Structure 1
Amino acid sequence: MKSNRGRRRDMQIAADNGDRLSKLPNDLLLNILERVGTLDAVRTCILSRQMLKLPTMLSQIVIDLSLRDLVRMNGVVADVTDKILSARSPQITIHKLKVKFLLSPSRCLSIGKSVARAMATQKLDAAEFEILTPRDFQNCTEAYLLLFAAQLNNFLHACPDAFAGLTRLHLQNMRFAELDITNILITCKRLESLCFVECDAGICSVLNVEHARLVEFTIAFGEFKTVELSYLPKLQRMTYNYWPCDDNPLVLGFVPQLSELNLTNAGLSDKTLELSQLLANVHTVRDLYLNFHSEKIWVRPECSWVLAPVLAQLRTVNLDNLPEECDFAWTMFFLEAAQCLEELCFTVWDHKCCRESQKSFSKKTDVKWEPSSIHFKHKNLCKLTIYGFQSDKNFTSYIRRTMKTAVNIQEISLHDRKVCKICAEKFPQMEARPSSYPRTDEEKDSLRKKIAAKPTMVASPAMIHFPS
């Protein structure tokens, strides 16, 4: 046991070490504080008299708590936002302001008024609202969806100046009236990024989007029959996850700068999506991400002469959560159609806990495709990446075929299966397929030689890597 004198010495050393932080120059302290959340920065500064004014000097104000913490601290978020913004010097630019908060009428009004005043009196480069609801979607009846939309509308009408200055807006769990979303877009004049999660304008509603400055648009779930991007001259990134209807879920109108398209769906119906139709007015997509949710393949392989014009700029393709029983040969249609494609990546994963229903596990997923020419060569593909690789004929034949077609390929990266503990806990009766991924260096070398053993193969076994 230490003596009282020893404990006092240790306490003094700890105090001296702790005080070293406050003795640093302000610019260095601000650099450190901006690397943590703003609430943590405020708590840190309270401990030192010399640091009390630093929160009002931050150039980045980020209040980003979990839903659980917001339920307890939504009032604190409103108070801290008001105190920091009201005490700031107008000469210090706010490069980033992000406030995540619960949709609560009184607290929202406080935050909105504080942000509006800051926008009117200070230099503010980017401002973001992420507005959560006190109930998650599983516990949201239609009455709650309508209530939350009405509360958001009231907030918008009470604080139009705050919304007019936003550059990013994230909303969830709201069912709007017919013209509400249009009104949001008109009010948020500076908006560059918009995210709707479980938001819509009613079951089988049509969303028509026009905005002069929107760069990024994300929709997840919701009950839109069709989303029409009519006029978005600056849109670069579009994400649409889990649309409920099959007929034209997404219509791309005037989107001349669209370069990244992300689509996710389970594809439980018999309908398939034709990229030639979806991208008929858009020939600028460089990055394409398709997530099949471990279900059936819902995109239709098409002839190269049909797809080539719309995929002329395509550089990367990511195909995520392909079911393990799927024949991968159909993915070669991307090589035939996209002559400039440089990277192809796909993940094979029977991710059971994310599937729509246990009944769908037995669904057949084979997609038939035949090459237009057996002599076709692709000159730009340089990298193939596969997650969930197994040493069976389905994989090895596909890799061999790709190596033969992509004459300038430089790297083939083969990763092991992903593991999901939730799948094992939720479906203990469904045994995982035995893994045949190579483990030892000898197994990997043997497989490399086997894949590249054909006399006509130009590619070298050395380009095949097993990073797992």
Structure 2
Amino acid sequence: MAARTSVLSTRWRNLPWLLPDLKLNVTDFLSAPCTGAAHTDQAMASLTRATSSFLAQPRREHTISTLCLKLYLMGNYSRDIGLLVSNAIDCKMLKDLELSILTEKEVKDSENEVMLRQARDVDGFFSEYPSVLRCLTRLHLHNVRFAERDMNHLLFDCCKQLLHLRLDHCDTRDLSVWKINAPHSNLRVLEVYLSSLKRAEVLCLPKLERVRWQAWLFHEAPLCFGSVPSLKELYLKCDATLCHQDFSLSQVLDGTTNIHTMTLNFRGEKIWMQPERKQLCTAFNKLRKLFIHGIFTKFDLLWTLNLIEAAPSVETFDVEMFEHPCLEGDEARIRCFSAQRVEPSWKIPGFTSCQKWQLKEFQFGGFRPLLKHHLLFASTVMGRAPDLKTVLLTDGQYPCKGCDAMIPIPPPVGGFFPRDRDTQEAIVKQLREIVQSSAQIIFRGGSTHPSRATWSCIY
């Protein structure tokens, strides 16, 4: 028995060096909670040892397909790791690198000098280990302020294999315009979070497929597009303050021709788009999935039909309400957004598409049958979609520490989501009396996704 155990342990000891994909994350070595620089130093020391054990061992004979590396740029630690990774690339031990460079500073503490220092550190790291840029396929940067020329040179001239770029609180100075003209770039995914940029002008990124832009700080449209023939998915999310100006979505989308999936999320605040109808038809010509999330639960919903009328080819329409009692009366929120939310100024559609709706699935998250405008909205969508197969009604409740900490937790606006069959059957009967539709109606708790739902009832 001892001999068998010895043989087995020997085999297992070699297993890590046979793994084709490795993930080395400095946060896995941080104690919880992390209380300061000493803990970060210890975590980086542990990460350096782990990286060395995988990349400096002569026993590794197999190529690493992908190394996912997350680190802080700290003195000898990042130099040692940079050298190990660079050598692994040069000797063809490592094929693809996914790199995330963290910073110890929170966004609120990241003023100009902090961001410029982080930019110098990032630039110094890549200058010292240029081989890293050669196989970099994914890059995630935090709190970096580059000069525009340096930023474009690094991201699009040097990182020729870069497929996925994420920037958290990064820019080329406050209220600057970032112009991207990279006809030879392979970039597929661009994600930007909490940027102080005035605007990004994506003049040319021929292989770009997905853009996610979240929480822009300037008060105008955050994006405009030039040549992006491959762009299929666009995600825009922002809780706009009173200072944010409404902008034309059709102007943002001017230059796009193949948008397939679009998500607009308002985080419970005002609708930051100008009312448009026919102007959106060209950009929405190939739209198949439309998600409109974060609509305050008391807001009227019929304005969203303007978007469907402009995109009759949509097959999946997902609307999700926003209700967080923990934010009501919060002083910080009131200072930014005011106590009274700004209702949508859009009117019920003044035009109808010459094409019939192709809608197959309608999802309504946060449905409250006691709110008349919710019931009206659901029945209106059902009535206008002759090919509708499924209506999915969900409670729209997601974990929130702020709401869960409230004692007592206030009941939802419009009452609780119907969970008993009698109430559900009454709602189904009411909907079918209002509109003739053969669509299957599903009540689901937990999540719209079947694998994460806690229960479902089908009618």
Shorter-chain TM-score range: 0.7 to 0.9
1:192 corresponds to 2:186:
no
Structure 2 residue corresponding to 1:358, chosen from 316, 320, 334? 334
- Find the aligned partners of 2:43 and 2:12 in 1 and give their Cα distance: 23
Aligned AA (2:22): I
Q: Is the 8 A contact 1:239 1:262 kept in 2?
A: yes
> Does the aligned pair in 2 maintain the 1:127–1:166 contact within 8 Å?
yes
Q: Structure 1 residues 430 and 274 mapped into 2: Cα distance closer, same or farther (>3 Å)? A: farther
Aligned residue in 1 for 2:115:
145
- Equivalent position of 1:451 in the other structure: 431
Unmatched runs of 5 consecutive residues or more in structure 2 = 32-38, 446-459
Quickly say closer, same or farther: Cα 1:315–1:16, change in 2 above 3 A. Answer: farther
CA distance in 2 between partners of 1:279 and 1:369 (Å): 22
- Structure 2 distance, partners of 1:353, 1:378, is 42
Could you say which residue in structure 1 is the equivalent of 2:132? 162
TM-score where L is the length of structure 2: 0.85
Give yes or no for contact 1:308–1:337 (8 Å, CA) kept in 2. yes
- Does structure 2 conserve the Cα–Cα contact (< 8 Å) formed by 1:133 and 1:172? yes
Contact between 1:220 and 1:240, CA under 8 Å: does it hold in 2?
yes
Partners of 1:436 and 1:377 in 2: CA distance: 37
Q: Which of the residues 283, 292, 297 maps onto 2:271?
A: 297
C-alpha displacement at 1:237, in angstroms? 0.6
- Aligned-partner Cα distance in 1 for 2:251–2:16: 52
Q: CA separation in 2, counterparts of 1:125 and 1:365?
A: 52
| Mapped partners of 2:81, 2:244: distance in 1 | 47
Deviates more, 1:194-203 or 1:423-432: 423-432
Q: Give per-residue Cα distances to partners, 1:235-259, cap 9 Å, x unaligned.
A: 0011111112233421111111000
Which segment is superposed worse, 322-331 or 353-362?
353-362
Structure 1 residue runs of 4+, over 4 Å off?
88-91, 352-356, 373-377, 425-432
Q: Look up the match of 1:403.
A: 382
- Distance in 2, matches of 1:440 and 1:386, equals 18
- TM-aligned CA deviation for residue 426 of structure 1: 7.1
Q: Who is 2:453 aligned against?
A: none
Pair 1:270–1:429, CA change in 2 (3 A): farther
Letter in 2 for 1:369: K
Residue pair 1:321, 1:351 contacting (<8 A) in 2 also: no
For the residues of structure 2 that align with 1:167 and 1:125, how far apart are their CA atoms? Answer: 10
| Aligned match of 1:27 | none
Determine the C-alpha separation between the residues in 2 that align with 1:208 and 1:401: 43
Q: Which amino acid aligns with 2:265?
A: N
Q: Are the structure 2 counterparts of residues 16 and 220 from structure 1 closer, same or farther at C-alpha, using a change threshold of 3 Å?
A: farther
**Residue of structure 1 in register with 2:18 after alignment:** 57
**Would the alpha carbon gap of residues 77 and 52 (structure 1) be closer, same or farther in structure 2, given more than 3 Å must change?**
same
After TM superposition, the structure 1 = structure 2 runs for residues 273-422 of structure 1, keeping only pairs within 5 Å, are 273-304=247-278, 306-351=279-324, 357-359=333-335, 360=337, 361-373=339-351, 378-391=356-369, 392-422=371-401
1:467 aligns with 2:440: no
Distance 1:438 1:110 in 2: 58
Query: Would you say the 8 A contact 1:407–1:458 is kept in 2?
Result: no
Find the counterpart in structure 2 of residue 37 from structure 1: none
Provide the residue aligned with 2:223 in structure 1: 250
Change (3 A) 1:374 1:169: closer
1:441 paired residue among 395, 398, 421: 421
Q: Does 2:77 correspond to 1:107?
A: yes
What displacement does 1:341 show? 0.3
Q: Over residues 68-117 of structure 1, what are the superposed CA-to-partner deviations in whole Å (9 max), with x where a residue is unaligned? A: 35823212212221331233678623221111111213222222221122
Tell me the percent identity. 25
Larger radius of gyration: 1
Code of the aligned partner of 2:441: I
For the Cα contact (< 8 Å) 2:312–2:353, is it kept in 1? no
Contact 1:389 1:417 in 2 (8 A): yes
Q: Distance in 2 between matches of 1:448 and 1:375?
A: 28
- Alignment partner of 1:240 out of 206, 210, 213: 213
1:374 Cα offset (Å): 6.7
1:416 is matched by which residue type in structure 2? D
Shift of 1:347: 1.2
Matched, 1:424 2:384: no
Structure 2 vs 1, CA of residues 88 and 195 (structure 1 numbering), >3 Å: closer, same or farther?
farther
Per-residue deviation at 1:379?
Answer: 3.4
Question: SS in structure 1 opposite 2:363?
Answer: strand
The residue that corresponds to 1:203 in the other structure is: 174
SS state at 2:170 partner: strand
